[in-house]
């Protein structure tokens, strides 16, 4: 089974993310180090990682250096803080592709229909393609804040803040989504 990873909102080099998001680091350097180590502890060289936005606040050279140290084949669903970097060829080379929105199908022999449809967008959507049929909406941007008001629907913030500063495997998300409900608000 294809078992990719999902994460978002690394905000590498963004010292204010420590304050704004109540991150347990003393400075940006220690935050970067922990995020990279946590990433490499779970992601292998050949694993696929879907990074759902907001990679870095560091300059191009430092960002590329950090990305080069992070395992896996990276796919970027761009966030609101990725606009200037994503236009740079050196940044683009670090990713298999860069898009604003992606619909992913994971083949999974253990579930009905043998595939899981996943919508990836940096921003959480209220309704998404296939929501009434069990598709998942995986996002970032909120740094865990939606958990306070989130309905029990098949939507999840894969950002580092609510996930112990490490990427989640598809199999982890499958467990999280097991008790969540499909949304019946999209048109048939």
The per-residue pLDDT for range 66-123, each reduced to its tens digit, is 999 999 999 999 999 998 999 999 999 999 999 999 999 999 999 888 999 999 999 9
| pLDDT attached to residue 1 | 64
Residue 34 lies in a domain: yes
Whether 36 is covered by a domain: the verdict is yes
| Parent domain of 95 | 5-177
11: phi > 0 → left, psi -120 to 50 → alpha, else beta; which?
Answer: left
Instruction: Tell whether 86 is covered by a domain.
Output: yes
Predicted confidence at residue 181, as pLDDT, reads 87
pTM, two decimal places:
0.95
Per the structure, how many domains does the chain have? 1
Structure confidence at residue 187 (pLDDT) = 55
- Which domain CATH number covers 169? 3.60.21.10
Share above pLDDT 70 across residues of the chain, in percent, rounded to a whole number: 96
CA distance 70 to 47: 11
Q: Which residues pair with 8 in a beta bridge?
A: 159
188 within a domain of the structure (yes/no) = no
């Amino acid at each position: 089974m294809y078992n990719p990873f999902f994460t978002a909102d690394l905000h590498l080099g963004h010292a204010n993310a420590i304050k704004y998001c109540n991150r347990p680091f003393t400075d940006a350097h220690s935050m970067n180090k922990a995020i990279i180590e946590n990433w490499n502890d779970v992601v292998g060289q050949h694993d696929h990682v879907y990074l759902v936005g907001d990679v870095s606040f560091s300059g191009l050279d430092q960002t590329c250096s950090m990305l080069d140290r992070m395992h896996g084949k990276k796919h970027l669903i761009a966030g609101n803080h990725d606009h200037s970097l994503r236009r740079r060829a050196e940044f683009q080379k670090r990713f298999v592709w860069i898009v604003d929105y992606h619909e992913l199908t994971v083949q999974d022999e253990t579930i009905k229909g043998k595939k899981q449809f996943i919508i990836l967008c940096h921003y959480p959507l209220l309704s998404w393609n296939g929501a009434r049929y069990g598709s998942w909406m995986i996002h970032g941007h909120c740094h865990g804040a939606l958990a306070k008001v989130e309905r029990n629907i098949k939507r999840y913030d894969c950002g580092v803040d609510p996930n112990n500063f490490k990427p989640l495997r598809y199999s982890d998300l499958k467990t999280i989504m097991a008790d969540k409900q499909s949304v019946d608000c999209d048109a048939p």
